[in-house]
Structure 1
Amino acid sequence: MTTHAPVAAAPTVTLANGVKMPMLGLGTWPMNDTQAADAVSNALGIGYRLIDTAENYGNEVGVGEGIRRSHVPRDQVFVTTKFNKRWHSVDGAKVACEASLKRLGLDYIDLLLIHWPNPDQDRYVDAFRGLVKLLDAGVVRAIGTSNFKPAHLQKLFDAGMVPHVNQIQLDPMHTRSDIVTIHQARGIVTEAWSPLGRDSALLKTPVIVDISNRIGRTEAQVVLRWHVQQGIIPTPKSSAATRQAENLRVFDFTLTAADMAAISALDRPDPKMMDADVFGH
């Protein structure tokens, strides 16, 4: 049950095929089914309309339960899921989609993504061809990729295909400008996972803390506003109702150009960041 007053729903961005996608969503990794059902139900009750899950998270059943429990009409909920490398083929994408639909208890998926490129097996182009077929069949409303680097995207472009969305690790310490520039040139929407960083370091930086104190917003709200003000869709994970509500309240203020620049200046190399050329599932 929702324990907080509803928040105004996030505005939407229009994908290249005309589908409207909410500008902020709820991430669900690493929740289990029970946690996901509770978090999703509450988030939808508060005003969230974008829910992000994946085959590999092991919580699609819980996400589907949370959607049903919320009683929010299906056509008002934007559901994203992703499939693993074992399904990287034209037919495999269909099998993965059907399995996710069954686990979610839904009859269509709003956005289906290839979770990792896994270039070592070099089958992601065929997997994307499978996504195109699913899109044409109306089983999915939009298609995309996750964790694709410039070289991976280029192979899709060379094959005449462009994802609607590429979901990547992105935050002020990892601005990923090389990929974002390509997205902007190709009309690809950038979606960020771990938008608040993978630990607490980002939210404790003096730049973020100072802006937070000056404008009377939480550190997380400052960082999420940095994302959405650039047209990047963040999907922060939170199972706490209070935090969920705070994270959604980022569309009623604006950061100055100086603040945006100061936050972006936190970008730095990170040798520990997962490399999609060698990591993937």
Structure 2
Amino acid sequence: MKKTRFIPYGYTMRNGRTVIEHDEADIIRYIFDEYIKGASLKDLAEELTARRVPYTEKTDVWDKARVARIIDNAKYTGSDVYDPIIDEDIFEEAAAAKAARQRNQIINECEGIALMRDRIRCGVCGAPMVRHICSKRKVKESWTCANDVCGCRVRISDSDLLMKVTLLMNRIIENADLLVPKPKKRFKDSLTVQRLQGEIDDELAHDQPSEKLIVTRIREIASQLYQETNAKDQIAARIAQKRVALMSPQIEFNTAYFTDLVENVVLEAPARVTLITKTDVNISEGEPDYGSQENTQEDGDAD
């Protein structure tokens, strides 16, 4: 611990070399983590002071300026002189959070991005993704998985994301059969159907079986079999097809079309986009277009 700060907080000198001071490094990671989660500079300064965390040998009082110097110090990502304490991605997230707070609003997101913000999903784990901005990058926008275990990040500009979503929606408009989900395969009856059938068999084994009970169980089996197919999705797809027939391909992102057609947008690295439609069909970049008949044929040919 130094009496005054000639080198950044988190480092110390040993044998003429700058090395990490591990207790201080833990505090740095804590500061970045809490700041990204929403803690203010003032909150962090008060918290560290209350915990009597030393800043130097002379003081354990923190203020906003000291916390801000840590948030702004790119040396913590590593250099020729300083070993890394945090990942570059963490530093970028903190910088994005700071920029957003300075403007007191989410950074320059257009109507289309605002509309799809809550519908972006991670292509690795399926969790929601969070938009970030880093002004130092050539591509400033990125999306990070909210699942800490996954941590997938996709860097894609707003303009490219809107363009790709528009192209995929145009593909649907030009081939409405894409909205029709593939029929579900049924290899054997579900446990529910087997149970109901067993009750019918037991009743039929009686000397005077109840016709009313048997008819009721048959209806229940029919209802269950309907639920286990995607008949509802097929009906929804037909309705959606009629809506699509009234649409025309667009040059720019159309918010009304997006609302009608798309349930979620899936992002995968490096910048691959997939639409999940309202009929639960995936429309991905670079995949061939198959109509409903082709899809059905593929199912029949599958092993």
TM-score (normalised: structure 2): 0.22
Higher gyration radius (CA): 2
Structure with the bigger RCO (C-alpha within 8 Å, sep 6+) is: 1
TM-score (normalised: structure 1): 0.24
The structure with the greater share of residues assigned to helix is 2
